[in-house]
Amino acid sequence: MSAPTLDRPVPDETALQQQFDATIAADHRIEPRDWMPEGYRKGLIRQIAQHAHSEIIGMQPEGDWLLAAPSLRRKAILLAKVQDEAGHGLYLYSAAETLGADRADLTDKLIERKQKYSSIFNYPTLTYADVGVIGWLVDGAAICNQVPLCRSSYGPYARAMIRVCKEESFHQRQGYELLMTMMRGTDAQRAMVQDSVDRWWWPSLMMFGPPDDDSPNSAQSMAWGVKRHTNDELRQRFVDMSVPQAEVLGVTLPDPELALDPETGRYRFGAIDWSEFKQVLAGNGPCNDERIARRRAARDDNAWVTEAATAYADKHAAVSA
Ligand code: FAQ
């Protein structure tokens, strides 16, 4: 009698694909141990890496105000927010690693401009009102975009989004509270808030990505359950959410065409300048060079820390072997 074998038959690619399709159709999660099509893996690494890079580069515009915050309280709030963004970047890089990506390699691709980060972080923070407006509009847009990603089909990404969204909701409220305080202040402070809203409104709308008819990744990403809504759907949701908040704040959104459509109950808005978006993506925004240069310096100047930690870990491994 032959010995029992523990080997299980290896399913063929067609069976694996069918299993993957069935998991997606049932709205269950794909986990790192599961087979997945190469396009799904690559597409996720692309999106998660760009998201992680956005969080890390996104520390810079607000970080510029850490040494010039107007009070100890504002400094403590800002410091906590910027640290949260670093944490979000780390969860996201970890999620990308579960797909086989290497974090150092992703950082190199960012610095070599082979991978993107959100267009919004290529604009300068000129006044402290910008800190409030980033919290209100940029975190607000990020939440709108990311709450549906908590139901994304890839387990580690979806789970990371739950905590990220909770923290970003807090960021959005602190930004709005800062703006409320400034709006109750002097005429100069109110003017500062209005000027900031004027500069950040349109770039915030661009955060949602190109219009649906010019979004090469959307259809496949939605079929795989990575994205749950199109770019234009989420942009509209953000506009509908922000207009009443602007009214309560007492600021004017810089769009003369913004008007409630009584039939749909949604706000119509003016045309977005997609040529500006394309310029920023091509590396020609106001701060692209500065953002990348600072990230490059952080990698190069701190390389000795990685080397020392690696040497220490190797030494310990050798001793315990
Ligand atoms: N900026 O085909 P689609 C934050 C690229 S986190 C730059 O529509 P997709 C937190 C896109 O990658 C903000 N590039 O692409 C925070 C693609 O290029 P590729 C980041 C953009 O992926 C707050 C090409 O254009 N959030 O703010 C942008 O289906 C405050 C064609 O586009 C996320 O990443 C853009 N705005 O849809 C931190 C959320 N839009 O990759 C600090 C997750 C598009 O083929 C302070 N990501 N592109 O070379 C997503 O939901 C999606 O990736 C979209 C784009 C919606 C961004």
Of all protein residues, the one whose alpha carbon is nearest to atom 37 of ligand 1 is: 209
Of all protein residues, the one whose alpha carbon is nearest to atom 25 of ligand 1 is: 209
Indicate which atom in ligand 1 lies nearest the CA of residue 216: 2
Of all protein residues, the one whose alpha carbon is nearest to atom 46 of ligand 1 is: 58
Of all protein residues, the one whose alpha carbon is nearest to atom 44 of ligand 1 is: 209
List C-alpha distances in Å: 109 to 50, 104, 210, 269. 10, 9, 22, 36
Of all protein residues, the one whose alpha carbon is nearest to atom 23 of ligand 1 is: 139
Amino acid (one-letter) located at 274: W
pLDDT-derived band at 276, boundaries 50, 70, 90: very high
H-type alpha helices, 29-149: 38-57, 59-63, 72-97, 103-111, 129-133, 139-146
Confidence check: pLDDT of 1 > 50: no
Over the stretch 136-193, which tens digit does the pLDDT of each residue have?
Answer: 999 999 999 999 999 999 999 999 999 999 999 999 999 999 999 999 999 999 999 9
CA of 162 to the centre of ligand 1 (A): 18
Of all protein residues, the one whose alpha carbon is nearest to atom 3 of ligand 1 is: 215
Over the stretch 184-210, which tens digit does the pLDDT of each residue have?
Answer: 999 999 999 999 999 999 999 999 999
CA of 231 to the centre of ligand 1 (A): 10
Which of 47, 110, 237 should be mutated for ligand 1, with most atoms under 8 A from CB? 47
Task: Report the pLDDT value the prediction gives residue 321, as an integer from 0 to 100.
Answer: 79
pLDDT-derived band at 11, boundaries 50, 70, 90: confident
Confidence check: pLDDT of 6 > 70: no
List C-alpha distances in Å: 179 to 29, 118, 133, 188. 40, 23, 7, 13
Which of 116, 230, 288 should be mutated for ligand 1, with most atoms under 8 A from CB? 116
- Residue showing tokens 């579960």: 98
Q: Is the full-model pTM beyond 0.75?
A: yes
Indicate which atom in ligand 1 lies nearest the CA of residue 145: 51
Helices 187-206, 155-183: axis angle to 10 degrees equals 160
Pocket of ligand 1 (CB under 6 A): 46-47, 50-51, 54-55, 58, 85, 116, 118-119, 134, 138-139, 142, 145-146, 206-210, 215-218, 221, 227, 231, 281
CA of residue 51 relative to chain centroid, distance: 4
C-beta neighbour count of 309 within 10 angstroms: 10
Percent of the chain with pLDDT over 90: 95
CA of 320 to the centre of ligand 1 (A): 45
End-to-end CA gap in the chain: 42
For residues 279-306, average pLDDT: 97
Residues paired with 154 in a beta bridge: 30
Q: What is the mean pLDDT of the chain?
A: 96
Over the stretch 23-74, which tens digit does the pLDDT of each residue have?
Answer: 999 999 999 999 999 999 999 999 999 999 999 999 999 999 999 999 999 9
H-type alpha helices, 215-287: 218-223, 231-249, 274-279
What six digits make up the tokens of 99? Answer: 């797909």
Indicate which atom in ligand 1 lies nearest the CA of residue 164: 10
pLDDT-derived band at 3, boundaries 50, 70, 90: low
